[in-house]
Structure 1
Amino acid sequence: MEYISSTRMKVIDSNCEYLGLTSLQLMENAGASVAREIKSLFTGGKVTFIAGKGNNGGDAFVAARHLAYYDSFDVHVLLIGKKHSIKTDEAIKNFELLKYCNIKVSEIFDSSSVEFRESIKDTDIIVDGILGTGFQGDIKQPESSLIDTINSSGKFIISIDSPSGLNVDETNVKKAINANKTFTFHKLKKSYKDPSVKKFTGDIKVINLGICTDAEKYVGKGNFKSLSLPRKDNHKGDAGKILIVGGGDYFGAPSLAALGALRTGADIVTIALPKKIKNIVATYSPNFIIKDLRGDFLTLDDVPFIVELMSYHDVIIIGNGLGKSEEIIESVYRIIMQSKKAVVDADGIDSLKEKVLTKSDIIITPHANEFYRLSGKQVSKDVAYNCDIVSKFSKDNDLTTLLKGPTDIISDGNQLFLNRTGNQGMTVGGTGDVLAGIVGSLFANNSAIDASSCGAFICGSAGDLAFKEKKYGLLATDIIENIPIVLKSMD
């Protein structure tokens, strides 16, 4: 049985909006479904909907409207507070529709209200739409005393999505509605796994809202709700200190990764480079901090220096343009094993072959050939097959894989996401380096799966904007310039 957190549910709702299924449609589906379920339980009677000011109240307004269509039901809606205090446009629209229905609507402000007490006393069924699945913390007044009165009423109580007062991500409940029945949407909520929560939920039925499958499977705008992004009260370094170890055969690769990280919001980006390309890379941007390695390529003698640098950074991005000599491969492996968080890209990926990694939080960003060299599994045109091999490889090796392709596949072995942003123009050299920088920047303050999935979406979306203007002439630097535009559109 699958359970879902409140944050993940918000992500899915937002992704539905991104795909074209609006929150107003979802509210309509939710309320209509609740009304159908009530009608299947009862042939008629007096039903009192007690609605809060958020979207849970909006669901209650819709359910009341649908139920009032049947003459056998006498429907009363009690809004906690005044109508101008309703918080969302969707809930406001559905509240306004009630005046065109055969529904008595009242505003209540505390549990001592005569109208509230008379309504509770005179009703057959109470429908709880006070506080939704986003509720956290302590219940405030008047909701707290209203819940006490409802619980002591002896009436049949139905909760919409979750009993009001219950934090659906936790099991430590101080006070909540004691429902006889809970109609929850889409999937069971995380806290429902605990048997102790049943005294609040009563019998639970999951209601299908018609959520798009792709809203769960593919990365979309909603996934950004899971991210920790820079705040106004941040200090320098709080948004991420990134160390990039690259260069040797190529000098553009680490530069592109660094620019990608900076444009995604990293505060500090340090690049450790071979001496022969240090001055060239320094001319790319005055925003880089440059540290030079001992020779023309990464060697085992550089490992202690890199390990010390890592202690001052949140994430290391390693592999971009390094080369593939045996000493480089061994050096990269030793560095990764001592890292906290590592994004391993390009030439660095070969260092992980036939190695067991247990100490570091690692993201790898291979293309099909790199994944084959690493796993022995050939990527096919069958996306489902590719999902299976990527998920299994990630689970077996305790890391997160971002397999780059026409459809990016991201998995940590437990969760799996697909990304369809991006285009054929992004086969140009350097786009993978930009992606590594984006992912590394996000990884500083987020989980590997969130950084990888959102990073793939950002890079592909920035590439799509660049393709509209440049077509097949787009360059990796064009993608970098469009990263802030994509991030702004996620607000």
Structure 2
Amino acid sequence: MLRCTDNLPLELYTAAQVRALDARIINDFGVPGIQLMLKASRALFSTFETQWPDCDALQVFCGKGNNAGDAYLMAALAVERGYTVRLWQVGDAPSAGDALTARERAEAAGVVAKPWRGELPDAGVIVDGLLGTGLKGDVRPAFAEAINAINASGLPVLAVDVPSGLCSDSGRILGAAVRASVTVSFIGLKQGLFTADAAECVGHLYFSDLEAPDAAMSDPPSVKRLLLECQHEVLPARARTAHKGHCGHVLVVGGDEGMAGAIVLAASAAARSGAGLVSCATRSAHLPGLLASRPEVMGHGVESVSALASLLAKASVVVIGPGLGQQRWGRALLSEVLKSDLPVVLDADALNLLGAKPELQRRAATIMTPHPGEAARLLDCTTADIHRDRFAAAAKLREITGASVLLKGAGTVIADDQGLAVSHYGNPGMASGGMGDVLSGVLGALLAQGLCASDSLRLGVCAHGVAADAAAALGGERGMLASDVIEQLRGVLNG
């Protein structure tokens, strides 16, 4: 699971952007590349000593690129300070440029590099300097074998810049990837460290800018990382004279036969997130259960489209999809909602219905919140295609629909009028039914309180994830329910 330190930058970059930044520091600001490597090695060594103060041995795995150069120089520092160091060379050794200079300095310091022949590391901390951000395709067999040996060792792992085998742009595992305990990233944080498979590989994430000149960092980032404390400011304090009419009216539409729970969760989340009024348009049979579980919500039995019109006239925001189903009833209600001029949050079965009718997509919603399967149906591709580049998938959905898009999953991705953003909040306990229903209710409530789509998305996804983390902290991840998250929302949003 990815665990971030509190002082990480918000700006995230692609590998190409970081290479350009690196070149600018060297060429325009006169900082030799070997000096950057020396600073990186010191940051690595400092992190190693802080994280594992009682360890006296390092097992360093090197390829031939700049990551290997950083690792060679770290090995030299360790030898000079009396640590036991074994350096394993996988494939060819560095033979040119700064990486070769680093290798030569390490050898001069007494580091002995041995070709790796399949040995399983058996002691100390492993340093992963195998592969860097330049990896394009799947890891080659020799490196995959080394990665598998590292993972099988059970030893703690310190990854240099990015865990080997993890795509630094998409966060996808390229055939095989190191499962690091700690990763130290340099110059600019890579966007792939925060989404897709990154949570399995990155461990604790630390960052060093290598004292890069501020003027060198002038290019805009490709993605922004979201922090809850930075999003809170978009939700103003309530006036002392506020009443429910000032805080918006959310209409939640859904809950076909047998799916009452989804609509209760979404409506409850909207109420706990500050909506002044919450109404539900659902099957009449669900009203007794709805009112018994959440009496603050106004329940309306809706068996036909005509019964929905008067409810739409009173609402300020519509959330549609939780438990909606994909039968005639759900299709009719969705069609009616999309005729209105209200802000709309589309989730769950509303997205599946939309995927079957591409002609509706350009007036689909103010906000849509697909998981990868729903995104694949909307984009007419596979879930593997979505996973291959979650940032590109979210951006494409926004381009097609004009909506502000929230692509669910580990490292939730947002594409809206502010660009691309990613949230690393949340935990595996959220892998249970109803979590998406809760999120849609949160977003509807924030829209109803006057926030724009972008601000609603960014605050909402952070609040939802932090509430889930708070629920997990109370009772653990396994067995966590969507209703547990709802009970944490009030505290998070008022924090």
Q: Which amino acid aligns with 2:360?
A: V
Instruction: Give the CA deviation at 1:264.
Output: 0.8
Instruction: Give the CA deviation at 1:333.
Output: 2.6
Q: Give the superposed CA RMSD.
A: 3.1
Report the equivalent of 1:376.
380
Kept in 1: contact 2:366–2:403 (CA 8 A): yes
Instruction: Give the CA deviation at 1:263.
Output: 0.8
Q: Does residue 19 of the first structure (1) align with residue 28 of the second (2)? A: no
Kept in 1: contact 2:222–2:420 (CA 8 A): no
Q: Which amino acid aligns with 2:7?
A: L
Which residue of 221, 244, 256 corresponds with 2:229? 221
Structure 2 distance, partners of 1:446, 1:418, is 19
Instruction: Give the CA deviation at 1:439.
Output: 0.7
SS of equivalent to 1:283: helix
Instruction: Give the CA deviation at 1:361.
Output: 4.7
Kept in 2: contact 1:344–1:363 (CA 8 A): yes
Kept in 1: contact 2:224–2:422 (CA 8 A): no
Q: Which amino acid aligns with 1:320?
A: P
Instruction: Give the CA deviation at 1:246.
Output: 1.3
Distance 1:323 1:348, change over 3 A: same
Q: How does 1:364-443 map to 2 (within 5 A)?
A: 364-380=368-384, 385-412=389-416, 415-443=419-447
Which residue of 269, 275, 278 corresponds with 1:266? 275
Report the equivalent of 1:231.
239
Distance 1:321 1:441, change over 3 A: same
Report the equivalent of 1:350.
352
Q: Which amino acid aligns with 2:261?
A: G
Distance 1:312 1:477, change over 3 A: same
Instruction: Give the CA deviation at 1:224.
Output: 2.3
Report the equivalent of 1:362.
366
SS of equivalent to 1:238: helix
Q: Does residue 465 of the first structure (1) align with residue 453 of the second (2)? A: no
Structure 2 distance, partners of 1:372, 1:215, is 22
Structure 2 distance, partners of 1:436, 1:365, is 8
Report the equivalent of 2:199.
none
Q: Deviations over 1:331-379 (max 9, x none)?
A: 3133223241111111111222212355575211111111111212334
Larger RCO: Structure 1 or Structure 2 (Cα < 8 Å, ≥ 6 residues apart)?
2
Structure 1 distance, partners of 2:426, 2:484, is 13
Which residue of 256, 265, 287 corresponds with 1:256? 265
Instruction: List gaps (5 residues or longer) in structure 2.
Output: 11-213
Kept in 2: contact 1:324–1:347 (CA 8 A): yes
SS of equivalent to 1:19: coil
- TM-score, structure 1 as length reference: 0.53
Deviates more, 1:424-433 or 1:211-220: 211-220
Deviates more, 1:335-344 or 1:284-293: 335-344
Distance 1:461 1:212, change over 3 A: farther
Asked which structure has the greater CA Rg, the reply is 1
Identity of aligned residues (%): 28
Structure 2 distance, partners of 1:458, 1:214, is 23
Q: Which amino acid aligns with 2:274?
A: G
Which residue of 322, 345, 348 corresponds with 1:320? 322
Instruction: List gaps (5 residues or longer) in structure 1.
Output: 1-15, 23-205, 295-301
Kept in 2: contact 1:228–1:446 (CA 8 A): no
Kept in 2: contact 1:341–1:360 (CA 8 A): no
Q: Does residue 287 of the first structure (1) align with residue 296 of the second (2)? A: yes
Q: Which amino acid aligns with 1:418?
A: V
Structure 2 distance, partners of 1:349, 1:277, is 23
Instruction: Give the CA deviation at 1:215.
Output: 9.3
SS of equivalent to 1:348: helix
Distance 1:373 1:413, change over 3 A: farther
Distance 1:243 1:373, change over 3 A: same
SS of equivalent to 2:244: coil
Distance 1:473 1:210, change over 3 A: farther
Instruction: Give the CA deviation at 1:285.
Output: 1.6
- TM-score, structure 2 as length reference: 0.53
SS of equivalent to 1:247: coil
Instruction: Give the CA deviation at 1:213.
Output: 6.7
Kept in 2: contact 1:403–1:409 (CA 8 A): yes
Report the equivalent of 1:478.
484
Structure 2 distance, partners of 1:382, 1:290, is 37
Report the equivalent of 1:307.
309
Q: Which amino acid aligns with 2:259?
A: Y
Aligned length: 286
Q: Deviations over 1:105-125 (max 9, x none)?
A: xxxxxxxxxxxxxxxxxxxxx
